[in-house]
Amino acid sequence: MTAAASPQRRIPVGVLGATGAVGQTFIRLLADHPWFEVAAVAASERSSGKRYRDAAHWLSGDMPSRVGDLIVTVCDPAEVPASIVFSALDSDAAQEVEAAFARAGKLVLSNARNFRMDADVPLLIPEVNPDHLALLPIQRAARNWSGAIVTNSNCSTMVIALALAPLHQAFGVEQLFVTTLQALSGAGYPGVPSLDILGNIIPFIGGGEEEKIESEPLKILGTFERGAVTPACMRVSAQVNRVAVEHGHTACMSVKLATAATPEEATHALRSWTGAIAELALPSAPAQPVIVTTERDRPQPRRDVNAGNGMSVVVGRVRADPMLDLRLVAMGHNTIRGAAGASILNAELMFARGLLAI
Ligand code: NAP
Protein backbone atom coordinates (compact mmCIF):
# COMPACT_ATOMS: atom_id res chain seq x y z
CA MET A 1 0.00 0.00 0.00
CA THR A 2 1.14 3.56 -0.71
CA ALA A 3 -0.15 6.97 0.37
CA ALA A 4 -3.57 7.73 -1.11
CA ALA A 5 -3.68 10.20 -4.03
CA SER A 6 -5.71 13.39 -3.49
CA PRO A 7 -8.78 14.23 -5.58
CA GLN A 8 -8.15 16.75 -8.38
CA ARG A 9 -10.63 19.18 -6.81
CA ARG A 10 -12.36 19.28 -3.43
CA ILE A 11 -15.40 17.02 -3.38
CA PRO A 12 -18.70 18.75 -2.47
CA VAL A 13 -20.40 17.19 0.55
CA GLY A 14 -23.55 17.86 2.55
CA VAL A 15 -23.98 17.80 6.33
CA LEU A 16 -27.32 16.61 7.73
CA GLY A 17 -28.04 17.75 11.27
CA ALA A 18 -25.47 20.47 10.64
CA THR A 19 -26.70 22.72 13.45
CA GLY A 20 -26.15 20.27 16.37
CA ALA A 21 -23.06 19.46 18.44
CA VAL A 22 -21.75 16.84 16.03
CA GLY A 23 -22.92 18.78 12.97
CA GLN A 24 -20.87 21.78 14.10
CA THR A 25 -17.84 19.55 14.57
CA PHE A 26 -18.24 18.43 10.95
CA ILE A 27 -18.38 22.07 9.83
CA ARG A 28 -15.24 22.88 11.82
CA LEU A 29 -13.25 19.82 10.66
CA LEU A 30 -14.31 20.20 7.03
CA ALA A 31 -13.54 23.95 6.83
CA ASP A 32 -9.92 23.33 5.86
CA HIS A 33 -10.22 19.76 4.68
CA PRO A 34 -7.96 19.06 1.68
CA TRP A 35 -10.40 16.66 -0.04
CA PHE A 36 -13.95 17.69 0.95
CA GLU A 37 -15.85 20.97 0.87
CA VAL A 38 -19.19 21.70 2.54
CA ALA A 39 -21.68 22.52 -0.22
CA ALA A 40 -24.94 22.06 1.69
CA VAL A 41 -26.17 22.18 5.28
CA ALA A 42 -29.47 20.64 6.33
CA ALA A 43 -31.37 20.28 9.59
CA SER A 44 -34.95 20.27 10.87
CA GLU A 45 -37.78 22.52 9.75
CA ARG A 46 -36.96 24.69 12.78
CA SER A 47 -33.73 25.71 11.05
CA SER A 48 -34.52 25.46 7.35
CA GLY A 49 -34.66 28.69 5.37
CA LYS A 50 -32.28 30.44 7.80
CA ARG A 51 -28.66 31.32 7.16
CA TYR A 52 -26.46 28.77 8.93
CA ARG A 53 -24.98 31.49 11.19
CA ASP A 54 -28.51 32.33 12.41
CA ALA A 55 -29.74 28.74 12.72
CA ALA A 56 -26.79 27.23 14.61
CA HIS A 57 -26.03 28.11 18.22
CA TRP A 58 -22.28 27.99 17.53
CA LEU A 59 -20.43 26.31 20.39
CA SER A 60 -16.68 26.59 19.79
CA GLY A 61 -14.32 29.25 18.38
CA ASP A 62 -15.21 31.13 15.19
CA MET A 63 -17.71 29.75 12.71
CA PRO A 64 -16.13 29.24 9.25
CA SER A 65 -17.48 32.32 7.44
CA ARG A 66 -18.25 30.68 4.08
CA VAL A 67 -20.52 28.10 5.71
CA GLY A 68 -22.16 30.77 7.87
CA ASP A 69 -23.69 32.26 4.72
CA LEU A 70 -25.20 28.97 3.45
CA ILE A 71 -28.96 28.63 3.75
CA VAL A 72 -30.03 25.62 5.83
CA THR A 73 -32.35 23.28 3.93
CA VAL A 74 -34.61 20.48 5.11
CA CYS A 75 -33.12 16.97 4.98
CA ASP A 76 -34.52 16.10 1.56
CA PRO A 77 -32.20 14.50 -1.01
CA ALA A 78 -33.55 16.84 -3.69
CA GLU A 79 -32.49 19.87 -1.59
CA VAL A 80 -28.93 18.67 -0.91
CA PRO A 81 -26.74 18.96 -4.03
CA ALA A 82 -24.02 16.51 -3.00
CA SER A 83 -23.58 12.79 -3.59
CA ILE A 84 -21.81 12.37 -0.23
CA VAL A 85 -23.55 13.37 2.99
CA PHE A 86 -22.30 13.27 6.54
CA SER A 87 -25.18 12.66 8.92
CA ALA A 88 -25.24 14.11 12.44
CA LEU A 89 -28.97 13.58 12.73
CA ASP A 90 -30.87 12.85 15.84
CA SER A 91 -31.81 9.16 15.81
CA ASP A 92 -35.52 10.05 15.72
CA ALA A 93 -34.98 11.54 12.25
CA ALA A 94 -32.13 9.36 10.98
CA GLN A 95 -34.08 6.20 10.16
CA GLU A 96 -36.22 7.69 7.42
CA VAL A 97 -33.91 10.46 6.27
CA GLU A 98 -30.75 8.36 5.88
CA ALA A 99 -32.64 5.64 4.00
CA ALA A 100 -34.16 8.27 1.69
CA PHE A 101 -30.71 9.63 0.85
CA ALA A 102 -29.29 6.15 0.19
CA ARG A 103 -32.34 5.34 -1.97
CA ALA A 104 -31.66 8.55 -3.92
CA GLY A 105 -28.15 7.29 -4.74
CA LYS A 106 -26.20 9.17 -2.10
CA LEU A 107 -23.51 7.82 0.20
CA VAL A 108 -24.51 8.49 3.81
CA LEU A 109 -21.79 8.48 6.46
CA SER A 110 -23.86 8.25 9.61
CA ASN A 111 -23.33 8.93 13.29
CA ALA A 112 -26.79 7.82 14.35
CA ARG A 113 -27.45 4.50 15.99
CA ASN A 114 -30.28 3.39 13.69
CA PHE A 115 -28.44 1.30 11.07
CA ARG A 116 -25.25 0.42 12.96
CA MET A 117 -26.16 -3.13 13.88
CA ASP A 118 -27.91 -4.04 10.60
CA ALA A 119 -26.11 -7.06 9.15
CA ASP A 120 -25.51 -5.41 5.76
CA VAL A 121 -24.24 -2.05 7.09
CA PRO A 122 -20.53 -1.52 7.85
CA LEU A 123 -19.82 -0.29 11.39
CA LEU A 124 -16.47 1.02 10.37
CA ILE A 125 -13.24 1.99 12.09
CA PRO A 126 -10.68 2.28 9.28
CA GLU A 127 -7.74 1.23 11.46
CA VAL A 128 -9.62 -1.83 12.72
CA ASN A 129 -12.03 -3.31 10.17
CA PRO A 130 -11.62 -1.69 6.71
CA ASP A 131 -12.52 -5.07 5.16
CA HIS A 132 -16.10 -4.63 6.43
CA LEU A 133 -16.62 -2.21 3.52
CA ALA A 134 -17.16 -5.38 1.48
CA LEU A 135 -20.71 -5.30 2.90
CA LEU A 136 -21.61 -2.43 0.56
CA PRO A 137 -22.49 -4.41 -2.59
CA ILE A 138 -24.49 -6.79 -0.38
CA GLN A 139 -26.34 -3.81 1.16
CA ARG A 140 -27.11 -2.29 -2.25
CA ALA A 141 -28.43 -5.58 -3.61
CA ALA A 142 -30.51 -6.36 -0.51
CA ARG A 143 -32.09 -2.91 -0.27
CA ASN A 144 -32.26 -2.17 -3.97
CA TRP A 145 -30.74 1.27 -3.58
CA SER A 146 -27.86 2.79 -5.51
CA GLY A 147 -26.49 4.78 -2.58
CA ALA A 148 -25.27 3.31 0.69
CA ILE A 149 -25.06 3.81 4.44
CA VAL A 150 -21.77 3.47 6.30
CA THR A 151 -21.87 4.05 10.04
CA ASN A 152 -19.43 4.85 12.78
CA SER A 153 -19.89 3.67 16.31
CA ASN A 154 -21.29 5.17 19.46
CA CYS A 155 -18.77 7.63 20.90
CA SER A 156 -17.81 5.51 23.93
CA THR A 157 -17.66 2.39 21.80
CA MET A 158 -15.10 4.14 19.61
CA VAL A 159 -12.78 4.74 22.57
CA ILE A 160 -13.27 1.21 23.84
CA ALA A 161 -12.92 -0.54 20.48
CA LEU A 162 -9.74 1.32 19.54
CA ALA A 163 -8.17 0.47 22.90
CA LEU A 164 -9.27 -3.17 22.66
CA ALA A 165 -8.30 -3.79 19.01
CA PRO A 166 -4.53 -4.19 19.62
CA LEU A 167 -5.19 -6.44 22.63
CA HIS A 168 -7.78 -8.49 20.76
CA GLN A 169 -5.47 -8.96 17.78
CA ALA A 170 -2.51 -9.95 19.99
CA PHE A 171 -4.14 -11.97 22.77
CA GLY A 172 -7.90 -12.29 22.13
CA VAL A 173 -10.33 -10.46 24.42
CA GLU A 174 -12.92 -12.76 26.00
CA GLN A 175 -14.54 -10.50 28.60
CA LEU A 176 -14.74 -6.78 29.22
CA PHE A 177 -16.10 -5.02 32.26
CA VAL A 178 -16.25 -1.28 31.53
CA THR A 179 -17.37 1.84 33.39
CA THR A 180 -17.57 5.06 31.39
CA LEU A 181 -17.36 8.71 32.44
CA GLN A 182 -18.94 10.58 29.53
CA ALA A 183 -18.62 14.25 28.64
CA LEU A 184 -21.51 16.68 28.36
CA SER A 185 -21.01 17.33 24.64
CA GLY A 186 -21.96 13.69 24.12
CA ALA A 187 -25.52 14.67 24.99
CA GLY A 188 -25.71 17.20 22.16
CA TYR A 189 -26.94 20.77 22.58
CA PRO A 190 -28.48 21.96 24.89
CA GLY A 191 -28.02 18.52 26.44
CA VAL A 192 -28.16 18.00 30.21
CA PRO A 193 -29.51 20.96 32.26
CA SER A 194 -26.68 22.67 34.16
CA LEU A 195 -28.40 22.31 37.53
CA ASP A 196 -28.58 18.55 37.04
CA ILE A 197 -24.90 18.07 36.26
CA LEU A 198 -22.82 20.80 37.97
CA GLY A 199 -21.00 19.17 40.90
CA ASN A 200 -22.74 15.92 40.08
CA ILE A 201 -22.52 12.54 38.33
CA ILE A 202 -25.55 10.97 36.69
CA PRO A 203 -25.31 7.16 36.53
CA PHE A 204 -27.59 6.83 33.52
CA ILE A 205 -27.52 7.77 29.83
CA GLY A 206 -30.61 7.17 27.76
CA GLY A 207 -30.93 5.89 24.21
CA GLY A 208 -29.63 2.42 25.10
CA GLU A 209 -26.06 3.63 25.80
CA GLU A 210 -25.05 0.56 27.82
CA GLU A 211 -26.60 -1.82 25.28
CA LYS A 212 -24.70 -0.07 22.47
CA ILE A 213 -21.39 -0.51 24.30
CA GLU A 214 -22.25 -4.15 24.97
CA SER A 215 -23.01 -4.93 21.31
CA GLU A 216 -21.13 -2.62 18.94
CA PRO A 217 -17.54 -3.69 19.82
CA LEU A 218 -18.43 -7.29 18.94
CA LYS A 219 -19.42 -6.27 15.41
CA ILE A 220 -16.43 -3.93 14.98
CA LEU A 221 -13.94 -6.58 16.14
CA GLY A 222 -15.80 -9.30 14.23
CA THR A 223 -14.54 -11.11 11.17
CA PHE A 224 -15.84 -10.56 7.65
CA GLU A 225 -16.17 -13.93 5.95
CA ARG A 226 -18.48 -15.38 3.29
CA GLY A 227 -20.41 -12.13 2.87
CA ALA A 228 -21.18 -11.45 6.54
CA VAL A 229 -19.61 -10.22 9.75
CA THR A 230 -19.24 -12.88 12.43
CA PRO A 231 -19.20 -11.01 15.75
CA ALA A 232 -16.21 -11.37 18.04
CA CYS A 233 -16.80 -13.96 20.75
CA MET A 234 -16.67 -11.61 23.72
CA ARG A 235 -18.87 -10.76 26.69
CA VAL A 236 -19.20 -7.12 27.68
CA SER A 237 -20.71 -5.56 30.80
CA ALA A 238 -21.05 -1.76 30.70
CA GLN A 239 -22.04 0.89 33.24
CA VAL A 240 -22.24 4.48 32.00
CA ASN A 241 -22.10 7.83 33.78
CA ARG A 242 -22.55 11.43 32.63
CA VAL A 243 -19.96 13.72 34.22
CA ALA A 244 -19.32 17.47 34.19
CA VAL A 245 -16.57 17.34 31.55
CA GLU A 246 -16.89 19.34 28.33
CA HIS A 247 -15.32 16.92 25.81
CA GLY A 248 -13.72 13.49 26.19
CA HIS A 249 -15.20 10.15 27.19
CA THR A 250 -13.21 8.02 29.63
CA ALA A 251 -13.56 4.23 29.84
CA CYS A 252 -12.19 2.30 32.85
CA MET A 253 -11.83 -1.29 31.69
CA SER A 254 -11.05 -4.72 33.12
CA VAL A 255 -10.29 -7.32 30.48
CA LYS A 256 -10.07 -11.10 30.37
CA LEU A 257 -7.76 -12.40 27.66
CA ALA A 258 -7.72 -15.72 25.79
CA THR A 259 -3.91 -15.81 26.01
CA ALA A 260 -2.41 -14.47 29.20
CA ALA A 261 -0.34 -11.30 28.90
CA THR A 262 1.58 -9.23 31.43
CA PRO A 263 0.95 -5.47 31.63
CA GLU A 264 4.31 -4.99 29.88
CA GLU A 265 3.29 -7.30 27.02
CA ALA A 266 -0.08 -5.54 26.74
CA THR A 267 1.63 -2.13 26.75
CA HIS A 268 3.96 -3.29 23.98
CA ALA A 269 1.00 -4.55 21.91
CA LEU A 270 -0.85 -1.24 22.36
CA ARG A 271 2.21 0.90 21.68
CA SER A 272 3.37 -0.95 18.56
CA TRP A 273 -0.10 -1.07 16.97
CA THR A 274 -0.46 1.19 13.94
CA GLY A 275 -3.76 -0.14 12.61
CA ALA A 276 -4.71 -1.33 9.14
CA ILE A 277 -4.44 1.89 7.13
CA ALA A 278 -1.19 3.53 8.28
CA GLU A 279 0.42 3.43 4.82
CA LEU A 280 -2.47 5.34 3.23
CA ALA A 281 -1.58 8.51 5.22
CA LEU A 282 -5.20 9.68 5.07
CA PRO A 283 -5.63 13.38 5.96
CA SER A 284 -7.55 12.77 9.22
CA ALA A 285 -5.71 9.63 10.32
CA PRO A 286 -3.58 10.24 13.41
CA ALA A 287 0.04 9.11 13.34
CA GLN A 288 -0.80 6.90 16.32
CA PRO A 289 -4.44 5.79 16.67
CA VAL A 290 -3.63 4.58 20.20
CA ILE A 291 -1.20 6.52 22.38
CA VAL A 292 0.03 4.87 25.58
CA THR A 293 0.92 7.02 28.56
CA THR A 294 2.83 5.71 31.55
CA GLU A 295 2.13 8.72 33.76
CA ARG A 296 0.28 7.40 36.75
CA ASP A 297 -2.56 9.95 36.62
CA ARG A 298 -3.31 10.01 32.87
CA PRO A 299 -5.24 10.01 30.59
CA GLN A 300 -7.24 13.06 31.62
CA PRO A 301 -9.83 14.75 29.36
CA ARG A 302 -8.51 18.25 30.04
CA ARG A 303 -4.93 17.34 29.19
CA ASP A 304 -5.27 14.60 26.59
CA VAL A 305 -8.52 15.13 24.68
CA ASN A 306 -6.86 16.80 21.68
CA ALA A 307 -4.14 14.15 21.20
CA GLY A 308 -3.70 13.47 17.48
CA ASN A 309 -5.98 16.45 16.70
CA GLY A 310 -8.69 14.69 18.69
CA MET A 311 -8.33 11.50 16.61
CA SER A 312 -6.11 9.44 18.95
CA VAL A 313 -7.34 7.43 21.89
CA VAL A 314 -5.05 7.79 24.90
CA VAL A 315 -4.57 4.69 27.06
CA GLY A 316 -2.97 4.62 30.49
CA ARG A 317 -2.82 2.80 33.81
CA VAL A 318 -2.23 -0.57 32.12
CA ARG A 319 -1.87 -2.96 35.03
CA ALA A 320 -2.78 -6.39 36.32
CA ASP A 321 -6.36 -6.99 37.42
CA PRO A 322 -6.94 -9.19 40.49
CA MET A 323 -10.18 -10.63 39.05
CA LEU A 324 -9.72 -10.66 35.27
CA ASP A 325 -6.32 -10.24 33.54
CA LEU A 326 -5.70 -6.56 32.85
CA ARG A 327 -7.00 -3.13 33.81
CA LEU A 328 -6.59 0.02 31.76
CA VAL A 329 -8.11 3.45 31.25
CA ALA A 330 -8.85 4.83 27.77
CA MET A 331 -10.02 8.32 26.79
CA GLY A 332 -10.93 9.94 23.48
CA HIS A 333 -12.65 12.99 22.01
CA ASN A 334 -16.33 12.13 21.67
CA THR A 335 -17.37 14.60 18.97
CA ILE A 336 -14.14 14.23 16.94
CA ARG A 337 -12.86 10.61 17.17
CA GLY A 338 -16.22 9.45 18.47
CA ALA A 339 -18.31 11.15 15.79
CA ALA A 340 -17.50 13.71 13.07
CA GLY A 341 -13.78 12.95 12.69
CA ALA A 342 -14.57 9.24 12.51
CA SER A 343 -17.09 9.76 9.69
CA ILE A 344 -14.65 11.93 7.77
CA LEU A 345 -11.93 9.29 8.13
CA ASN A 346 -14.41 6.70 6.83
CA ALA A 347 -15.04 8.88 3.76
CA GLU A 348 -11.30 9.34 3.23
CA LEU A 349 -10.78 5.57 3.30
CA MET A 350 -13.61 5.12 0.81
CA PHE A 351 -12.10 7.71 -1.51
CA ALA A 352 -8.70 6.01 -1.26
CA ARG A 353 -10.35 2.67 -2.09
CA GLY A 354 -12.17 4.15 -5.12
CA LEU A 355 -15.55 3.69 -3.43
CA LEU A 356 -16.83 7.26 -3.73
CA ALA A 357 -18.98 7.72 -6.81
CA ILE A 358 -18.36 11.41 -7.56
P1 NAP B 1 -27.87 17.53 18.71
O2 NAP B 1 -26.90 18.55 19.16
O3 NAP B 1 -29.16 17.40 19.43
O4 NAP B 1 -28.19 17.81 17.14
C5 NAP B 1 -29.23 17.14 16.46
C6 NAP B 1 -29.31 17.59 15.01
O7 NAP B 1 -30.37 16.86 14.37
C8 NAP B 1 -29.63 19.08 14.84
O9 NAP B 1 -28.97 19.59 13.70
C10 NAP B 1 -31.14 19.08 14.59
O11 NAP B 1 -31.56 20.19 13.80
C12 NAP B 1 -31.26 17.81 13.76
N13 NAP B 1 -32.63 17.28 13.81
C14 NAP B 1 -33.37 16.96 14.92
N15 NAP B 1 -34.59 16.51 14.55
C16 NAP B 1 -34.63 16.57 13.19
C17 NAP B 1 -35.62 16.26 12.21
N18 NAP B 1 -36.81 15.78 12.54
N19 NAP B 1 -35.31 16.42 10.89
C20 NAP B 1 -34.09 16.90 10.52
N21 NAP B 1 -33.12 17.23 11.41
C22 NAP B 1 -33.38 17.05 12.72
O23 NAP B 1 -27.24 16.07 18.71
P24 NAP B 1 -25.69 15.61 18.52
O25 NAP B 1 -25.06 15.39 19.83
O26 NAP B 1 -25.04 16.51 17.54
O27 NAP B 1 -25.87 14.15 17.93
C28 NAP B 1 -26.22 13.93 16.56
C29 NAP B 1 -26.21 12.43 16.28
O30 NAP B 1 -24.89 11.92 16.47
C31 NAP B 1 -27.13 11.62 17.20
O32 NAP B 1 -27.69 10.56 16.48
C33 NAP B 1 -26.15 11.13 18.27
O34 NAP B 1 -26.60 9.96 18.91
C35 NAP B 1 -24.91 10.88 17.45
N36 NAP B 1 -23.63 10.95 18.15
C37 NAP B 1 -23.36 11.99 18.98
C38 NAP B 1 -22.10 12.05 19.59
C39 NAP B 1 -21.70 13.19 20.51
O40 NAP B 1 -20.62 13.10 21.11
N41 NAP B 1 -22.51 14.24 20.67
C42 NAP B 1 -21.17 11.07 19.35
C43 NAP B 1 -21.49 10.01 18.50
C44 NAP B 1 -22.72 9.97 17.90
P45 NAP B 1 -32.23 21.53 14.46
O46 NAP B 1 -31.09 22.35 15.02
O47 NAP B 1 -32.88 22.19 13.31
O48 NAP B 1 -33.18 21.07 15.53
> What pLDDT is stored for residue 8 in this prediction?
87
> What pLDDT is stored for residue 2 in this prediction?
79
Closest CA to 288 of 163, 122, 135: 163
> What pLDDT is stored for residue 1 in this prediction?
59
CATH of 155-333, one of 1.10.3210.10, 3.30.360.10, 3.20.20.140, 3.40.50.1820: 3.30.360.10
> What pLDDT is stored for residue 22 in this prediction?
97
Among 15, 16, 19, 22, residue to substitute to test ligand 1 (most atoms within 8 Å of Cβ): 22
Closest atom, ligand 1, to C-alpha of 48:
47
Report the alpha-carbon angle 220-108-160, nearest 5. Answer: 25
CA distances from 51 to 38, 54, 57, 80 (A): 14, 5, 12, 15
List per-block mean pLDDT (blocks of 10 residues) for the chain, which spans 358 residues.
86 98 98 97 98 96 95 98 97 98 98 98 98 98 97 98 98 98 96 97 98 98 97 98 98 98 98 97 98 97 98 98 97 98 98 87
Integer Cα distance of 117 and 15 in angstroms? 22
Closest atom, ligand 1, to C-alpha of 25:
26
Residues 6+ positions from 168 with CB-CB distance below 8 Å: 221, 232, 234
Q: Does the predicted model carry a pTM greater than 0.95?
A: yes
List, chain by chain if needed, residues with CB within 6 Å of any ligand 1 atom: 17-23, 43-44, 46-47, 75, 88-91, 93-94, 111-113, 155, 185-186, 188-189, 334-335, 338-339
- Count CB atoms within 10 A of the CB of residue 17: 29
In the chain, where the domains are located = 11-154+340-352, 155-333
- Count CB atoms within 10 A of the CB of residue 235: 12
CATH of 11-154+340-352, one of 3.50.50.60, 3.40.50.450, 3.40.50.720, 3.30.360.10: 3.40.50.720
Catalytic annotation present for 249: yes
